């Protein structure tokens, strides 16, 4: 592997890591900015957001 292809591999790897990080940050921001009424689960098998660990069991 010569120096040019090694640099290209490093740049592509860094671009992939930055892309994954940006995608995760965007998804978190979408979840954070949605209204709280959209986060309420209407089905019986869902755990309430204010549940303690004993309620989850």
User: CA 16 to CA 55: how far, in whole Å?
Assistant: 40
**Radius of gyration (C-alpha) of the chain in whole angstroms:** 21
pLDDT for 29 equals: 87
Q: For each successive 10 residues of the chain (57 residues), what is the average pLDDT?
A: 90 96 90 67 58 54
Of 39, 48, 42, give the one whose Cα is nearest residue 56: 48
The pTM for the full model equals: 0.54
Task: Please say whether the beta carbons of 23 and 30 come within 8 A.
Answer: no
Residue 25, both tokens: 């940050």
User: CA 9 to CA 16: how far, in whole Å?
Assistant: 11
């Amino acid at each position: 592997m010569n120096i040019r292809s090694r640099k290209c591999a490093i740049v592509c790897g860094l671009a992939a890591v930055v892309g994954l990080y940006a995608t995760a940050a965007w998804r978190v921001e979408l979840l954070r900015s949605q209204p709280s009424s959209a986060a309420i689960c209407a089905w019986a098998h869902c755990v309430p957001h204010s549940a303690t660990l004993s309620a989850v069991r």
